[in-house]
Structure 1
Amino acid sequence: MDLQQAEMKIRELQTLLHQYGYEYYVLDKPSVPDAEYDRLLRELIELEEQYPQFKTPDSPTVRVGGAILDMFEKVRHKSPMLSLANAFNEDDLRDFDRRVRQAAGDDASYVCELKIDGLAVSLTYEEGRFVLGSTRGDGTTGEDITANLRTIKSIPLKLRENVSLEVRGEAFMPKNSFEKLNKLKEERGEEPFANPRNAAAGSLRQLDTSIAASRKLDIFLYGLAEAPNLDIESHSEGLDYLDRLGFKTNKERRKCSSIEEVLDFVNSWVEKRPNLDYDIDGIVIKVDSIEMQEQLGTTAKSPRWAIAYKFPAEEVVTTLLDIELSVGRTGVVTPTAILEPVRVAGTTVQRASLHNEDLIREKDLKIGDKVVVKKAGDIIPEVVNVLPEQRTGNETDFFMPTHCPECESDLVRLEGEVALRCLNPKCPAQIREGLIHFVSRNAMNIDGLGEKVISQLFAHKLVEDVADIYKLTAEELLALERMGEKSVSNLLQAIDRSKENSLERLLFGLGIRHVGEKAAKTLAQEYETIDRLAAATESDLMGINEVGEKMASSIAAFFEQDEARELIEELKAAGVNMEYKGPRRAAVESADSIFVGKTVVLTGKMEKMSRNEAKEKLEALGANVAGSVSKKTDILIAGEDAGSKLAKARELGIEIWDEERLLEEIEK
């Protein structure tokens, strides 16, 4: 085959594969078997390897992935990617409708669309070719994830018209892809993703594009951002135009002429939501007319012509199969409901915490009961109540044991506590849970040492305390199930990196009773080294504002133990840092920062940084970061999808900032 023939064959295969891909991934109407598509793709890959000069950026072969990126470049959006204001009930939607009609006229109509629970992205095309894809970021600046987005087969690499435009959409992971991915992660002993949204976001931020390609992501496009010279007068026309260009839009949308029709659409999807192959967390309602949208305008954060209705927490009925007991690192015995598997708010639920015996008695739970289950905040599964009218007489009562299910020691209930506790310090469950806590994200953050790997190490007697983690060898790790050379190498590097952590992470990881993450930071700032902290008396510790009598007694008792002192020496010998690396307490208190002495609450999703990162930065500037809103709160930082905390802050007249304002103040 000469060069001209090679080029013609490559162009022919590219065109054919684009068409077949469009039919399969966008129209869901494949015209050829998978085997034929795969055969043609292999032929194209071979030809492009032989004649690389004819491979184009929009070739179907780029979807395979394989490129390793150094980093994600920042991208400034031509027009802001604003977040949407939220509605939580019918009254909120009627208020939105009233505001729209007062400002833009009574003839307003709406387009209702499913709110996909994924990652917002922007796609830019030049003369019909996909040239840039980015995340939302802070709404003004995102990250260039073009290489990973090219691996999503429902994103057209070449449009059906040679137009230049920017479109917005939501990338997501279908439920079946999510379940397969988590099954694979569990088989490898890795921590599974919490939900499809996190899985999609994590996939698109992989520097190895082959990882994104392997995770079978999908996308729905929901609007035009920049489309000069297009004669489009409504949002619904814009969606139809995206269809004609070859984009995948969500067909489950409806044009509504009244708020009653909007409410009818919303209510219908509350019921139909579980039947979808992807997660939705609400309905987006947009004014259809572009002219009216421009008339209504936007606030600094969100458009006045659109709103997102958030579904109430989904409740489902399942069977309580059993109640299982687990022993935590502090010896507390916690009952857990074992449920007949049921899908709730996007994931399959089989377990739910019952907290303590009193809750079981309060809810009158019996093994075999039909129970109502929901996810608190769409995250944590909980048993809402029992359905006694559905009892058959075969249900059985549950009684808490008198002895530890792990070590057979007596269980006790300490004064003032509702929990039963095992006081045996050598209880295997407590040791194992302590190890899991030590390596967790907010403690020493050793990536790759998940619960399953720790359990294997403990069962094989390779680790008996946290110091043993720093003695692990490649040979020992390779002998474990599902631990290959690459994962072992990555794990040993993560263990080595953890030696450099600042002191507060180590203190939190040691699991000293009553010392949480915030108290560990306070102690590290105050004493600066672990030796100074170990030498502090109970009276010294009580002199710190944030340290009470119980905590001071617990800290002093911990460092008086021979075992604790020996453990510290072992960690020192392994090279673990014992000093505080952050800003000194005195420096924070005297700093010229508006946050000094302020009580700040964080809520909603942050785009530019995680909530933990924001918390660390605020505390370094002297703020007290609290978990709930009260009259003592000075500032509420509201990210995307802020809920009840934002409502309470407004009610109390508390100063409210968005993430952009926070970043401005932090960077001053």
Structure 2
Amino acid sequence: MTLLQDIVNKLIYQEILVDELSDEELAQFCQIANLAYRAGKPIISDKDYDFIYLDALKNRDPDNLLFKFIETEGQSFSEEKVLLPEAMLSIDKAYSWDEISKWIKRLEKSAMQISLDLSAIQIKATPKLDGFSGFDDGSRLYTRGDGKKGSDISRVFERGLCVFNDAERGLGAGEIVIKKSYFKKYLAHSFEYPRNFQASLIKEKALDEQAQKAIIDKAALFIPFIKLPTWSGLVAELVAKFDQIVAQVLVMVDFDVDGVVFEVINTDLKTQMGANRKFHRWQIAFKENKDKAHVKVLNVIPQVGRSGKITPVVELEPTLLSGATIMRATGHNYGLVKEQGLGVGSVVELTRSGLVIPKIIFVLKPMPVDIPDNCPSCDKPLVWKSDFLTCINHKNCPAQIIGKMAYFFKILANNDGFGIATIEKLYAHDIRSVSQIYALNIEDLVTIGFGEKTSMNLINQLNRSVSEQVEDWRFLAAFGMHRMGLGNCENLLKSHHLNDIFDLNLKEIANIDGFAELTGQIIVQGLISIADEFNHIYQYGFNLETTILTKDLQTLTHELFDKKIVFTGKMNHSRDDMKKHAKSIGIKVSTSISAKIDYLVIGDKVGQKKIKDAEKFGVVVMTETDYLSKI
């Protein structure tokens, strides 16, 4: 059994706690759980996965790549991946009215920016299907894949799969599902979960009798999201009747549902809010969780993270909570521990956020707390930074050094093999920096204790990370400076070339749109701290894609400069390359049609919905050839 397999098994059976894992191990667990889920063989429940993914990992490592990009589909498809007609983003999630309320406040803030009357904000709610995601462009059906590329599974329609309510093809994103009533009556004895059966519908081999019958009986269907039954109303009504609306929407369809999706209807507001790399900001999924228990605290143990923050791990009196024996939880930070009186003998209220680890909601009975003085990894004195107890021995703390080295390769995202286990082994043999890793050869790795074949693979991956092109802002983000995640690094390099940023002063950085003086101070200090390591690594000649400076974009005079464009259909050129090039020459690229879009650029096999939307909003339609002639 591999180390990672052992970790997965121990997490599932709660022999170890999430907080005992490194960032890398936790991220790998999320990826494994995601792959198993999408292959129709989940290893943990949806609630458990969402809790680990959104709470544990996001609180600890908010810049993790898993939050910047879409989770990939399972590896059950051998077909070559193809570009999706349009990106399929994830949906942000909320587990309480509090979180929904914060989302509504963000809607209202955006509405004020475009002078939209707050009382005119319209919301619709639809069931959140627990099916198999896909995109139907009218001629082909794709899996969601990584959100940009998926597998062609058009064979499902060729086998007779129908669209929900006999709707036409080409309605975009949706899910393959099986009716709950049908599954319970005919399939529950053969399949543990509906998802297992749904996965069998799209397999490459010929369908078995059960799957073919479900298709013929129209129990297995493709449901375009735009064809789902909906509740709609003004935002004030959502606020006043939230619980009733959720209850109403959850029973609207005879399919497995794991929540309610809320989204804005107002087109201008949707455009204003836009999206990040992960999800649309105008949309959120609500997943309710009512399971709770009152539990006694046995101990609170400090553990150090990559950034030096110390996480309190709470040992609990073993408690059965909805079928799982809970023994530990995270205390989040020592500021909360101190404020709430979370100590030995405390009684806490837990929510049923996961079988693997619960979430502490309240401390019902405060007790004296024990705040550590020294770092559990390097034994150096700890200091307070806001609510966080922190180890500032950044250069010599083993846990931090190992975490930073692993983080570099994870963010670079063009290599394999340099996870925590590999980095820990290197650290044990006096490797203390990424630049030292790049200086290794096969003989060095064999001496350290890696097998010859593994050593060769690791060197090949180092070479790959240098030769395979990456964005310059991703390369900069990999050094892990505080407040310099992917977005801020890209923003910085839109104003100054990578080679020039180490000469910037506080005023120059603070004047960049989106930054301020405090952020500028942190960036200046961060750049000073990484300068030597940056220069050592940069000399290996990484293949970096240079970000176009905003001031250079402003000198462009072509006809489409600063215009908003949507690309759709099959292009002669790579759609990804076209979008990237368009952005580099000052064109604003969007994925959805609205009144604010100037042009719709079409290729072959275009979905009719996009064309109709363009006509409705007065958007100019042009062919790929026309577009290329204008730029």
Query: TM-score, normalization: structure 2?
Result: 0.47
Report which of the two structures shows the higher radius of gyration computed on alpha carbons: 1
Structure with the larger RCO, 1 or 2 (CA within 8 Å, 6+ apart):
2
